[in-house]
Amino acid sequence: MKDLILNYVINEYQEDEDDEITYETPLISGGFVDSFSMVSLKVFLEKKFKINIPDDKATPEAFDSVNKIVDLVNGYTK
DSSP state of 19: S
Per the document, the length of the chain is 78
Residue 39 in contact with another protein, rule: CB under 8 A:
yes
Interactions with another protein, residue window 47-76 (CB under 8 A)? none
Choosing from 30, 48, 60, 74, the residue that interacts with another protein (CB under 8 A) is 30
Q: Which is nearer to another protein, 37 or 74 (CB)?
A: 37
Write each residue from 9 to 28 as x if it is in contact with another protein (CB under 8 A), else as -, in one continuous string.
Answer: ---xx-x--x----------
Which amino acid appears at position 39 of this protein?
A: V
Burial group, residue 49, by CB count within 10 angstroms (0-12, 13-18, 19+)? middle
